[in-house]
Amino acid sequence: MPKKKKIKLTKSQKQLIEFSILGLISFLSFFFWNSYIIYPIKIFVVLSHEISHGLATIFTGGKLQSIILTPDLGGASYTVGGNKFIIASAGYLGSLMFGSALFISGYNTTVRKVVSIFIAVILILFAANFIDTVLGRVISVLFALIFIILPFYTKEIVNAYFFKIFGLISTFYVVIDIKEDLFSDIYRPSDAQFISEITSIPVMYWSIFWFLVSISVIVLLLRWGIKKGI
Q: Which residues of the chain fall short of a pLDDT of 50? A: 1
Angle between helices 191-199 and 203-228 (to 10 degrees): 130
Name the DSSP class of 72.
T
Q: Tell me, what amino acid is at 128?
A: A
The string of DSSP letters for 3-44 reads: PPPPP---HHHHHHHHHHHHHHHHHHHHHTTTSTTTHHHHHH
Q: Tell me, what amino acid is at 21?
A: I
* Confidence at residue 143, expressed as pLDDT on a 0 to 100 scale: 95
* CA 180 to each of CA 50, 77, 175, 208: distance values in angstroms, whole numbers, following the listed order: 18, 20, 9, 11
pTM summary value: 0.87
Q: Which sequence spans correspond to the domains of the chain?
A: 11-228
* Confidence at residue 6, expressed as pLDDT on a 0 to 100 scale: 59
* Confidence at residue 188, expressed as pLDDT on a 0 to 100 scale: 65
* Confidence at residue 20, expressed as pLDDT on a 0 to 100 scale: 82
Closest of 22, 4, 88 to residue 227, by C-alpha: 22
* Confidence at residue 223, expressed as pLDDT on a 0 to 100 scale: 87
Name the DSSP class of 60.
T
Tell me whether strands 74-80 and 63-70 are parallel, antiparallel or unpaired. Answer: antiparallel
189-224 confidence digits (pLDDT tens): 788 888 989 999 998 898 889 999 999 999 999 888
Q: Tell me, what amino acid is at 2?
A: P
* Confidence at residue 22, expressed as pLDDT on a 0 to 100 scale: 78
* Confidence at residue 189, expressed as pLDDT on a 0 to 100 scale: 74
